[in-house]
A and B are shown apart, each in its own frame.
Chain A
Amino acid sequence: EDQVTQSPEALRLQEGESSSLNCSYTVSGLRGLFWYRQDPGKGPEFLFTLYSAGEEKEKERLKATLTKKESFLHITAPKPEDSATYLCAVQAAGSRLTFGEGTQLTVNP
Chain B
Amino acid sequence: DAGVIQSPRHEVTEMGQEVTLRCKPISGHNSLFWYRQTMMRGLELLIYFNNNVPIDDSGMPEDRFSAKMPNASFSTLKIQPSEPRDSAVYFCASSSRTQFRTSGKLRGTDTQYFGPGTRLTVL
Contact = CB atoms under 8 A, between A and B. Distances in A.
Given A96-B45, A99-B43, A43 B110 contact: no
B117 A31 contact: no
Interface string A69-109: 00000000000000000010001001111111110000000
Secondary structure dominating the interface of A:
loop
A101 B109 contact: no
A23 B116 CA distance: 24
A102 B44 CA distance: 13
Given A43-B91, A43-B115, A44-B114, A31 B108 contact: yes
Contacts of A98: 45
Contacts of B31: 95
Contacts, number: 55
Given A51-B102, A87-B43, A94-B55, A46 B111 contact: yes
A88 to B, nearest CB: 11
Interface residues of A, number: 24
Contact of B111 (A34, A52, A101, A102): A34
Given A41-B117, A94-B55, A98-B45, 11 more contacts: A32-B109, A42-B117, A43-B91, A43-B115, A44-B43, A44-B114, A46-B111, A49-B109, A51-B109, A95-B31, A95-B48
11 contacts: A31-B107, A36-B114, A42-B116, A43-B4, A44-B91, A95-B31, A95-B95, A96-B45, A97-B45, A97-B112, A99-B42
Interface of A: 31-32, 34, 36, 41-46, 49, 51-52, 87, 91, 94-102
